Every structure is written in structure tokens, then in C-alpha cells.
Amino acid sequence: MTTQTSSGITADLRVLSTEQLPTPAALSESVPLSPTARDTVLSGRNQVQDILSGKDSRFLVVAGPCSVHDEQAAIDYAGRLAALAEEVKEQILVVMRVYFEKPRTILGWKGLIYDPNLNGVYAIKEGLERARKILLAVNEKGLPAGAEFLDPIVPQYLADLVTWSSIGARTTESQTHRQMASGLSMPVGFKNATSGSIDIAVNGIRAAKAAQAFLGIDKNGQTSVVNTAGNPFAHLVLRGGEDGPNYEAEQVAHAQDILTAASLDPKLVVDCSHANAGKNHENEHLVFENLIEQRNQGNKNIVGCMLESFINPGSQPLPSDPSKLEYGVSITDPCIGWAETEQLLRAAAKKLS
């Protein structure tokens, strides 16, 4: 038996409301790219691209909190990281992890863009503006920024401030994200799938390197057909999976064989957290130190790594009263603390000299 709605309406039956956002152009005008930030982005992208192409022999380290939830703490961390980046710059290129979108397995806090006040109210307009201001502040310290792009509309608002980006393990198989990556202006890393599959990420890289045409929006918010040239700097990020870590020398060599068989450059980045650390931040240093050793033993195709790092170690649940949060502690995945971050990067710089 067919049930018919009394109103006869067939669209938007479960949409409660819609709210217009400022266009990407309008947000960029209200929070403009400063000359210093522009120089940081352009220089950062060129340096990452040179590392990926083998022109620069330094090691890339993308370090920062699992997610940004507190502007003050993020900018505090950025100041510390900028000083450390200057100290180790001869051996290591440091990019700050500045993540505003968090994929959720079921439900949970989805990131500063969506819930900037940590209260379950999706103030997305405010979240976009605050995210752009944080990225601007990080870049104005001379520190390049890295981000994961989850919603394909978000890059139009923020991508001009991003040096390196990633496609997460949950979305690496998504055609929408592969298409989006093909048009991104910065290098983009595809993480292996949560299952551990590298082939899925390799297929994503191949798709992102190709020209694509898809639906999106332009800077004026107009729905458009987006035609891309393909992203030549798409690359693999190993993050472990359901079958365990994949950062050991034999596993890295296997991943590089898969890349080579697909006619792709065997250069890759390794995530020191997530499944590679057994979801335990206290294991991140083991992964990091192992990668530096592999580099020193001759595998220069391990071009970089990711570290989940914040001011204070560990993580904390999001309380009903956000004012009770501990300063500089992650509210998503646990991170190593600042003292350990300094120690790891300084030791690595010496070993890589």
C-alpha cells in the first residue's frame, strides 16, 4: 500500500531549515590573505613539492593536535612549533597540522568548523570564519599549515591558506574526494584505508593525478562544473589498519612495490599515530624513531611523517561545560606533549645531519 503525504510535497521532507553562508569570496575578503601568509603558503608548497619530487632531501614532519578546538592553545602551539621549525630547518621541514574537520564513525564532535563553541550548536558560519583566522595566524608566524579536507565545499573557503592536505582513511575510496583532490592547489596525501588496504589509496592517487570534471561551487558560491588538470603531487600516507601497523621496513617496502607497480613514485609519508601506534600516543615515538632509522639506512623514499602533538599529552572527554577543559589537551585522539615533540625533532635533526 502506498502512503501519500497530505501536502503533496516530494522534496526536503526531512530538512528542518537551511541557512545561507557567505560566499568563499566574501569570507576571503573579510579575512584576507596577508602578504606574509601568502609568502608562507607559496614557499611551503614549493618546499613540500621539492621533497616529494626528490629535489629537496630534507624530511617532512606534519605535527600538531589531532584537531583544533581552542584558538588560544592552537596559536600558542604554533608559536612554539615555528621556533622549533627554525631550529631544525636544515634537516626537517615542519608543517603544522591544523585540522578543523573530524570524520566520525557514528556520532561525536565533528570539528571546529561545525561546532566552534563545543556545545552541539552547529554554528558553521562562525566556525568557517574562526578556522580561517586561525590558519591566517599560523601562516603569519612563517609556519606552513596542513589540513584534512572532509567536506568538498570547505576548500573554497580555506585552501588558499593550506600548504599540505590529506584525504583521510575513511574517505580515501570516495570518488567525490578523489575528484576534489585533483583540483587542490597543494600536495595531497591519501591515507591507506581503515582496513589497511594500500590498493584503495593507490587508486585514489591515480584518480587524483588525472583531469576530472565534477559538480562544485565557485568563489561566488555558484553551483558549477569544476574542470581540473589533476594533482601531480598526490602521494601515499601509511597509517596502519585493522590488520595492524604498516611502518616497519618490510611493510614500507611492500607499499613502495605497490606504488611502483602502479607506475607511481614510491615516495610516501608515514603517520606515526592511529593504527601505527596502536591508538596509543605513548607509542608514537617508536614509529618516529623507526622511520628516522630507515631513512638513515638508505630508504630516502620515506619522505616524511605525521605526529599528533599538542601542548600537553593525552586527551580528555568533551564536558558539558567547555570552560572546564584542561588547556592544551586534545579532545579527540590523544597526542604527545610539547616536551616530547621538541626532544623527538631535535634528536631526529641530529641523526639526519
Name the residue ranges covered by the structural domains of the chain: 24-352
Can you give the pTM of this predicted structure? 0.95
- Give the pLDDT of residue 1: 42
* Long-range CB pairs of 128-132, under 8 A, 24+ apart, other chains included: 128/21, 128/22, 128/27, 128/154, 128/157, 128/158, 129/27, 129/30, 129/31, 130/71, 131/68, 131/100, 131/157, 131/158, 132/27, 132/28, 132/31, 132/157, 132/158, 132/161
**CA distances to 6, 94, 98, 134 from 78, in Å:** 56, 11, 9, 10
CB 88 within 8 A of CB 94: yes
- Sign (positive/negative) of CA torsion 271, 142, 311, 133? negative
Among 267, 340, 331, CA closest to 99: 331
Beta bridge partners of residue 94, listed in sequence order: 61
Q: In the structure grid, which three cell numbers stand for residue 281, read together? A: 600516543
Strands 213-217 and 223-227 come out as antiparallel
Cell 629537496 sits on residue:
56
3-state class of 99 per DSSP?
A: coil
Q: Which superfamily does CATH assign the domain made up of 24-352 to?
A: Aldolase class I (3.20.20.70)
Cell 589540513 sits on residue:
147
Using alpha carbons only, what angle is made at residue 280 by residues 114 and 196, rounded to the nearest 5 degrees? 80
Cell 630534507 sits on residue:
58
User: Which stretches in the chain have pLDDT values below 70?
Assistant: 1-6, 105
DSSP 136: H
3-state class of 303 per DSSP?
A: strand
- Give the pLDDT of residue 9: 87
Among 209, 201, 157, 200, CA closest to 179: 209
Phi first, then psi, for residue 93 (nearest 5°) are -95, 120
d(CA 99, CA 229): 26
Among 152, 99, 157, CA closest to 128: 157
- Give the pLDDT of residue 2: 46
